[in-house]
Chains A and B, each alone.
Chain A
Amino acid sequence: MSGGDGEVAFFDNVGLRYGTGKEILTDISFSLWPGSFYFLTGASGAGKTSLLKLLYLAQRPSRGIIRMFGSDVITLPRSRLPGFRRRLGVVFQDFRLVDHLSAFDNVALPLRIAGVDESELVQPVSDMLEWVGLAHRAEARPETLSGGEKQRVAIARAVIGRPDMLLADEPTGNVDPDMALKLMRLFESLNRLGTTVIVATHDVHLLQNVRSSMIMRLDKGRLADPTGALRYPPRSPAAGKTPR
C-alpha cells in the first residue's frame, strides 16, 4: 500500500473495538481511489457500519493509520475535522433527517453549515429536489414522507455540497426494487462526475447493477478483497483524478 496523497482514503492495519470488548474490525487495510465506485458487502454484523463510521469520521480507530485526502485524520486536531467532513456526503441507514425541518431545509442544511448565503442556495436546493423527484414535497416534514422519499431527501442532502466521497449505508434497505435501481443510477451519475462512491449493502443483486464497481467484503470484521481491486486498482480515467 502506498499511503500517498493520490488516494481519497487510505487504511493501514486499522482495528476498532468499543470499550474493552473484542475487535469489531481487525487489520483493515485498503486504499480508495478518486472517482471509483465501491460496494462494501458482508452479512449483518460484519462491521460495515463501523467501517463507514471510520470513513465519515464519526469514530476513531483503536489502532492503525487512516489517511483521508492525504492527511492523517487520527492525529489531526479536532478543529480541522469539520473541513474534512464537508468533503464527504453520507447517507445514513436511518436517514437522520431533522424532524422539525422541511425537506427543503434538510437538503439545504449542509450548504448553510458551509456558510452559503440564503440567496445562493435556493436554486441549487430546488434543483436537487427536482432531480430526486421531490420538488412537490419541498415543504413536507420528514414525518409525512414515505420511506423512499426520506431516502431521496437524505441522498439529496448528502450530494448537494458536491462531496469528494459519498458514503451510503444500506441506501436501498427501505425502498422497493425499482427505487433501489433508480438510486443506484443516481449514485452512478454522481460517480461519473468524479465523486468516489462507497455503498454498504448486503443486497448482492445490487452489485450486478453497477459495472466497473469494486467489491470490499467484510467477514467478521476482516476485509476480503475478492476482485483484488483494492490492492491493484484498475487503471481508469476516473482513477487518475485528483481529489479536490
Chain B
Amino acid sequence: MSQPPLSDAARAGHSPFAGEKARALIPQARLAGPMPWVLAIMVALTVLAAGAGLSLGNLAGDARSELSGGVTVQILDADPRSRAEQAQAAQAVLQGMDMVAQSRIVPQEELDRLIEPWLGNAGDAETVPVPALIDVRLGGKATPQAIEALADALAGTAPDARIDAQSSWLQPVFSALRSLQYLALALVLLLAVTSAAAVFLAARSALGNNRATIEIVHLLGGTDGQIAQLFQRAVLVDSILGGAAGLVLGLAAVLALGYQFAALDSGMIASAGLDWIDWIVIALIPVFGVLLAVATARFTVLAAVRKML
C-alpha cells in the first residue's frame, strides 16, 4: 500500500469551526420544532406585560405630578350663607398668599354635577348641605408643612375650613397602580425565567438527541466552547425567529388594547399612553430574549459537556 497522504493542515488551523458544515453537525428542526413558537409566545406575553406596566407607570406619574400641588379647601358649615361668606373670605386670603399659584371657588352647578351620581338632582343646598369647595394650585408641592401654613392662614377667616392635599385622596389609587406595576414586573421576570427554562429543556433535549455526535466531536479534540457554539447558533436562529414573531404579536395586542382604552375617552386613561422611550424598551424585549436564550443554551451545554473528561 502506498504512503498515506497525510496533511499537516490540522496543525496550522486557525479558522473557527463555523458555517454550514458546523451547523450540519446538529440537525435543526427550525420552525418545525417547538422552540421558536415557545419563544414567540413568551416574547409576546412579555411585550404585553411590559406595555401594561409602562403605561400604568405613565398614568400614575402623570396623575401624581398633576395632583402634587393640588389642594382642596372645604368649608364645612351647614348654614349656606355663612358657608358662602367663609368661602369668599378664604378665597380672598388664598389669592393673597405667595405660595398659592391659583385658586377658584368651585361653582354650585359643578358641585351639583359631582354629587349627582350619588344624590341625584333632587337635592339642593338647603336640604343636603354640601361643603363649599375651593380648588387651590400651589406653586410647590402640597407638603404637610404647606397644608399647615394654609390652615394657619385660613383659621381666622374661615374657621370651618378643612384643607386636604388632593394627592392624598388618590393615594389608594396610586397604591393599586404601584401594585399593578409590580405585578407587571413580576410577570416580565416570571416570563424571562420561564423562557430560560424552556431553552434549558430544549438544549437538554437537543444534547440528549445528539449525544453520540457530541462525544465524537469531544474525542476528536473539540473544545467545550466549540460544542456549546454548535447549540448556541441553533438557539440564536430559533430565538431570532421567535423573538420577531413574538414582538409582532405583542405589539399588535398592545396597540389593539391602546385603541380600546383610548375609545373610553377618560382623562385618566388618556394619560396612560406610551412614550417613545417606552416603545424602545418594548422593542428591546426580543433582543434581551435572544441574549437570554443564547446564554441559557451556552451555560446548559457547557454544564453538560463539563461532565465529560
**Is B219's beta carbon under 8 Å from chain A?**
yes
Contacts A113-B17, A116-B15, A117-B15 given: A101-B223 contact, CB under 8 Å?
A: no
**Is A144's beta carbon under 8 Å from chain B?**
no
A81-139: which have CB < 8 Å to B?
Answer: 81-83, 85-86, 88, 90, 96-101, 105, 108-118, 120-121, 124, 127-128, 130-131
Q: Which A residues touch B21, using CB under 8 A?
A: 105, 108, 112, 118
A48-65: which have CB < 8 Å to B?
Answer: 56-60
**Is A231's beta carbon under 8 Å from chain B?**
no
A190-237: which have CB < 8 Å to B?
Answer: 190, 192-193
Chain B interface mostly = loop
Cross-interface CB contact of B8 among A96, A117, A162, A182, cutoff 8 Å? A162
CB distance from B134 to the nearest CB of A (A): 76
A193 touches B6 (CB 8 A): yes
Q: Which A residues touch B217, using CB under 8 A?
A: 109, 113
In the docked arrangement, what's the CA distance between A109 and B13, Å? 13
B221 touches A86 (CB 8 A): yes
B1 touches A189 (CB 8 A): yes
In the docked arrangement, what's the CA distance between A113 and B225, Å? 11
B1 touches A161 (CB 8 A): no
How many residues of A sit at the interface, in one of the four size bands? 35 or more
Contacts A100-B24, A186-B1, A193-B4 given: A82-B222 contact, CB under 8 Å?
A: yes
CB-CB nearest in chain A for B213: A98
Q: Which B residues touch A244, using CB under 8 A?
A: 11
B223 touches A115 (CB 8 A): no
Chain A interface mostly = helix
CB-CB nearest in chain A for B20: A118
**Is A32's beta carbon under 8 Å from chain B?**
no
Contacts A101-B24, A115-B15, A116-B13 given: A124-B7 contact, CB under 8 Å?
A: yes
**Is B172's beta carbon under 8 Å from chain A?**
no
**Is B85's beta carbon under 8 Å from chain A?**
no
**Is A22's beta carbon under 8 Å from chain B?**
no
B4 touches A115 (CB 8 A): no
**Is A160's beta carbon under 8 Å from chain B?**
yes
Cross-interface CB contact of A57 among B7, B22, B25, B309, cutoff 8 Å? B309
B1-58: which have CB < 8 Å to A?
Answer: 1-17, 19, 21-22, 24-25, 27
B4 touches A128 (CB 8 A): yes
B6 touches A109 (CB 8 A): no
Cross-interface CB contact of B216 among A98, A120, A159, A189, cutoff 8 Å? A98
A120 touches B9 (CB 8 A): yes
Cross-interface CB contact of B221 among A110, A118, A190, cutoff 8 Å? A110
Cross-interface CB contact of A113 among B3, B221, B224, B309, cutoff 8 Å? B221
**Is B79's beta carbon under 8 Å from chain A?**
no
- Number of A-B residue pairs with CB-CB distance less than 8 Å in the complex they form: 127
In the docked arrangement, what's the CA distance between A124 and B5, Å? 7
Q: Which B residues touch A90, using CB under 8 A?
A: 219
B215 touches A114 (CB 8 A): no
B10 touches A189 (CB 8 A): no
Cross-interface CB contact of B10 among A56, A101, A162, A193, cutoff 8 Å? A162
**Is B263's beta carbon under 8 Å from chain A?**
no
CB distance from B223 to the nearest CB of A (A): 5
In the docked arrangement, what's the CA distance between A187 and B154, Å? 108
CB distance from B98 to the nearest CB of A (A): 73
Q: Which B residues touch A101, using CB under 8 A?
A: 24-25
A35-83: which have CB < 8 Å to B?
Answer: 56-60, 78-79, 81-83
In the docked arrangement, what's the CA distance between A83 and B10, Å? 11
A115 touches B16 (CB 8 A): yes
Q: Which B residues touch A116, using CB under 8 A?
A: 9-10, 12-13, 15
Q: Which B residues touch A111, using CB under 8 A?
A: 7, 9-10, 13
**Is B306's beta carbon under 8 Å from chain A?**
yes
Q: Which B residues touch A131, using CB under 8 A?
A: 2, 4-5
**Is B226's beta carbon under 8 Å from chain A?**
yes
CB-CB nearest in chain A for B212: A96
A85 touches B9 (CB 8 A): no
CB distance from B28 to the nearest CB of A (A): 11
A58 touches B219 (CB 8 A): yes
**Is B122's beta carbon under 8 Å from chain A?**
no
- Among A56, A105, A113, the one with the most B-chain Cβ atoms within 10 Å of its Cβ is A113
In the docked arrangement, what's the CA distance between A59 and B21, Å? 29
In the docked arrangement, what's the CA distance between A2 and B105, Å? 105
Q: Which A residues touch B10, using CB under 8 A?
A: 86, 110-111, 114, 116, 160-162
Q: Which B residues touch A78, using CB under 8 A?
A: 224, 306, 309
A162 touches B7 (CB 8 A): yes
CB-CB nearest in chain B for A184: B1
Q: Which B residues touch A112, using CB under 8 A?
A: 17, 21-22
A161 touches B7 (CB 8 A): yes
Interface CB pairs A-B, < 8 A, 6:
A88-B221, A110-B221, A114-B9, A131-B4, A162-B6, A244-B11
Residues of B within 8 A of A (CB): 1-17, 19, 21-22, 24-25, 27, 212-213, 215-224, 226, 306, 309
